[in-house]
Amino acid sequence: MLVRLFTGDPAVCTQVSAVVMVALGSSMAVLGFALTAMKRSGRSLRSVAVGWGLLVVAAGPVVGAWGLVGLWTAVLATHLLLVALQGLAFLSVTADRHVVS
């Protein structure tokens, strides 16, 4: 992770990793609730199904090859994917609302 470029302290790396996971989880929640509030919960549900579905499919092989560290890395990648998917869905919905015909 990038934090290792700035410090070699394992305690700091652990804390930063935890904060990043919480921040990404919060971002997913905000985007999901925003899509639901705009009556576009289907887009949020599809994003969640794709993101977590890919993690479910990959979890076994990842744990077999890289162990728990690999699984946490896969969870982080899933969070990043979900933020990107829900962010794109949100941007497409808001762009549709601002189109004047």
pLDDT (0 to 100) of residue 21: 79
- Categorise residue 99: left if φ over 0, alpha if ψ from -120 to 50, beta otherwise: beta
| 21-39 residue pLDDT tens | 788 888 888 888 888 888 8
What CA–CA distance (Å, rounded) separates 69 from 78?
14
Q: Can you tell me whether residue 6 is helix, strand or coil?
A: coil
Please state, as a whole number, how many other Cβ atoms lie within 10 Å of the Cβ of residue 15.
12
The model carries a pTM of: 0.77
Is the pLDDT at 100 greater than 60? The verdict is no
pLDDT in tens, 37-75: 888 888 889 999 999 999 999 999 999 999 988 998 898
- Axis crossing angle, helix 10-37 with helix 41-97, rounded to the nearest 10: 70
